[in-house]
Chain A
Amino acid sequence: MDMPRSDVRPVDFDSFSTPKHLEHAAQQAHARNYQDFLIVDVDSHHYENESYAEVFEYIENPIMRRDAIDSGGRSTGFLNTQVGGQSMAGRIVRNKGRKLDKPRVSKHRDIGMTLDWMDSMGVDYACLFPTPMLFLSAHPVPEVEAAMAQAYNRWLCERILAHEPRIVSMLYLPFNDPDAAYKTVKEFGDKKGVVGFMVTSPRYKSVHDNTFMRTYRLIEEQGKVLSFHAAYNWDDRALAMCNRFIAAHALGFMWFNMVHMTNWVVNGLPERFPKLKVMWIESGLTWAYSLMQRLDHSYLMRTSDCPQLKRKPSEYMREMYYSTQPMEMPEDKTLLEATFKQIKADTQLLWSSDYPHWDFDLPSTIYDLPFLDEKSKRNILGGTAAKLFNLDSKPVKKIP
């Protein structure tokens, strides 16, 4: 028997680097020739709380600014939070490891860390969203949501988006304050790297409320995207019955988007804003297929409940956009294929990673699907997003 030379290394938990953590992702990227085509991630995250010292300085109101800065070092105080561990009791190591990471690019640390994982996965452009602020929609004081949204959006535009063309964002809309939401679109609509506006879904403001119509109209006029980013609210009365995070997460990330989508359609908003580009983020895919059937079935009996509709609800839903992650992977792939067909994946589905969160997806979740041809794969992985966000279609990544 041969005894060739092997390369042997220990497993080291005392150091961390994103390129090392994602070495297998880079291998996938090379093996699938991602360098040859555009990949756009429409939903990724940073931990903006690591930059709160900078963000808080952008809060305009001096009383709130002092309150925020004073409470900056504590997990409770100025801002609300949610129970629920991203790291799964330490099973996911990158949450702790990121403190030890040394990004290769010497711009803002957030830029460097983002570019590192983008290159490893083979991503050219990433739409960056916050993490703890996804729960800001449940803050009991609407003024705080509005103030924090404005501060974060200004910080993001000035410190991140202005300095890195490969990072874009749909900015946080303070939806609990309709006037502040409108002002946000007015102030930031033409800023570099702003490709749309994002509503965090776990909230109790109805999307069909008249106070939001001028905001929708303005986003439609700007040609930007309005997105609804799912999250959970474990304090929600229904979800509060769940005793385990898996339950609150699995249900919560579908539940709020199902409510908002239903209200969006039955109140005729697609008819009122026919050119508004609407995207549903991080609910997976099966919810949309399920809801299409459910709403169509009821609509055909109760058309008088939705007099603005000229077509079945599913037909409007097929004109909206959906991000892939967390993409369900049924053993029977024909179920997934049927879901892709129902939501018109070739033109309406956009790949997303959700990195660095615990349930992130790689581009291979799309690229390796047996029922997609190369053109469909490239549309979903980046082509559709490039058109939607008006991005250059030339690949710019540097896979390590």
Chain B
Amino acid sequence: MAEWFVARASDLKDGDRRIVTAGKREIGVFHKDGAYHAYSNTCLHQGGPACEGVMINNVVDILNPDRTYEGQKFGDETHFVCPWHGWEYDIKTGEMVGDRKQKLRKYEVVKRGDDIYVVA
């Protein structure tokens, strides 16, 4: 295992991300809502750059107490989306949201002073 430099913390603003090539691995490092998350940049579907797509919140169907359908809204869960086919991953867990048994490999992120590193 080694620590791979990602960015100065002051350069990686909340909502931003970096793609780190660590040896033969590509890792997406996200800074979102005050936390850092790092996942393999290879989509579990067909190998697309999973961490390089848009970030978007989950979509929620609004149901009334009588179970009738009212409409849709965005939820509170942030997803990042593989730009090839739209596979969506939960940024907090790396789980594929359509089948949470499937998860991207997660990496540890450490902060040393003002520097952010990913451990891989």
Please indicate the chain B residues that have their CB under 8 angstroms from the CB of A3 in the complex. 2-5, 117
The answer to whether B86 and A88 have CB atoms under 8 Å apart is yes
Q: Is the interface of A mostly helix, strand, loop or mixed?
A: loop
| Chain A contact residue count (CB 8 A cutoff) | 32
Q: Which residue of B is nearest A7, CB measured? A: B21
Inter-chain contact B46/A8, CB cutoff 8 Å: no
| CB–CB B47/A364 < 8 A | yes
Q: Is B54 in the interface zone, CB < 8 Å from A?
A: yes
User: Is A93's CB under 8 angstroms from B85's CB?
Assistant: no
Closest 6 CB pairs of A and B: A6-B4, A7-B21, A2-B2, A93-B83, A91-B86, A91-B81
Q: Are B48 and A24 in contact (CB under 8 A)?
A: yes
B56 partner residues in chain A, CB cutoff 8 A: 89-91
Question: Which residues of A sit under 8 angstroms from B86, Cβ to Cβ?
Answer: 88, 91-92, 358
Structural contact, A93 and B48, CB atoms closer than 8 A: no
* A8 & B85 in contact (Cβ 8 Å cutoff): no
- The CA-CA distance from A91 to B82 in the complex, in Å, is 8
Residue ID in chain B nearest A87 by CB atoms: B86
Does the CB pair A10–B2 fall under 8 Å? Answer: no
A93 to B84, CA, bound (A): 8
Instruction: List B contacts of A27 (CB < 8 A).
Output: 47
Considering the complex, give the chain B residue whose CB is closest to the CB of A97. B83
Closest to B116 in A: A8
Known: A92-B85, A359-B85, A360-B85. A4 touches B19 (CB 8 A): no
A92-B83, A93-B53, A360-B85 known; A8+B7 contact, CB < 8 A: yes
Q: Is the CB of A6 within 8 A of B21?
A: yes
Q: Identify which of residues 359-384 in chain A touch chain B, using a CB-to-CB cut-off of 8 Å.
A: 359-362, 364-365
> Could you tell me the distance between the alpha carbons of A4 and B25 in the complex, rounded to whole angstroms?
13
Chain B binding surface SS class: strand
Any A CB within 8 A of the CB of B1? yes
Instruction: Specify which of B6, B21, B52 lies most central, judged by the most chain A CB atoms within 10 Å of its CB.
Output: B52
Q: Are B52 and A11 in contact (CB under 8 A)?
A: yes
What's the interface size class on B, roughly?
Answer: 20 to 34
List chain B residues, Cβ under 8 A from A359: 85
Interchain residue pairs with CB less than 8 A apart (13):
A1-B119, A4-B23, A6-B118, A7-B21, A8-B18, A8-B20, A8-B21, A91-B54, A91-B81, A93-B53, A358-B85, A362-B46, A362-B47
Whether A164 is near chain B, meaning CB under 8 Å from some CB there, is no
Tell me if B66 counts as interface (CB < 8 A to partner A): no
Q: Is B104 an interface residue (CB 8 A)?
A: no
Q: Given A3-B2, A93-B53, are A9 and B85 also a contact pair (CB < 8 Å)?
A: no
Is residue A94 contacting chain B, with contact meaning CB distance below 8 A? yes
User: Is B22 an interface position by the 8 A CB rule?
Assistant: yes
Contacting pair A8 B54 (CB below 8 A): no
What are the residues of chain A within 8 A of B21 when measuring CB–CB?
A: 6-8
| B16 interface residue per 8 A CB criterion | yes
Whole-angstrom distance from the CB of B78 to the nearest CB of chain A? 14
A91, B88: Cα distance in complex, Å: 9
Using CB atoms, name the residue of chain B closest to A361.
B46
Indicate if the CB atoms of A6 and B49 lie closer than 8 Å: no
Q: Judge whether A21 and B83 touch: CB under 8 Å.
A: yes
The distance in angstroms between the C-alpha atoms of A365 and B18, with both chains bound, is 29
The verdict on A6 contacting B20 (CB below 8 Å), with A1-B3, A90-B54, A359-B85 known, is: yes
Q: Given the complex, which residues of A lie within 8 Å of B18, measured CB to CB?
A: 8-11
- Closest residue to A329 on the B side, CB-wise? B45
Q: Are B54 and A365 in contact (CB under 8 A)?
A: no
Given contacts A91-B56, A92-B86, 19 further A-B contacts (CB under 8 A): A1-B119, A2-B3, A3-B2, A3-B4, A3-B5, A4-B4, A4-B22, A6-B4, A8-B5, A8-B20, A10-B19, A11-B19, A11-B52, A23-B49, A91-B88, A92-B83, A94-B83, A358-B85, A360-B85
Nearest neighbor of A92 in chain B, beta-carbon distance: B86
What CA separation (Å) do A94 and B16 show in the bound complex? 21
Enumerate chain B residues within 8 angstroms of A25, measured Cβ to Cβ: 47
- A232-271 residues with Cβ-Cβ distance < 8 A to B are none
Q: Which of B48-70 contact A (CB under 8 A)?
A: 48-49, 51-54, 56
Closest to B51 in A: A11
Q: Mark B79-102, 1 if CB is under 8 A from A, else 0.
A: 001011110100000000000000
Residue among B1, B84, B117, B119 facing the most chain A CB atoms (10 A cut-off): B84
* Interface: A28 (CB within 8 A): yes
A10: contacting residue among B4, B17, B47, CB under 8 A? B17
- C-alpha spacing A167/B46, complex, angstroms: 25
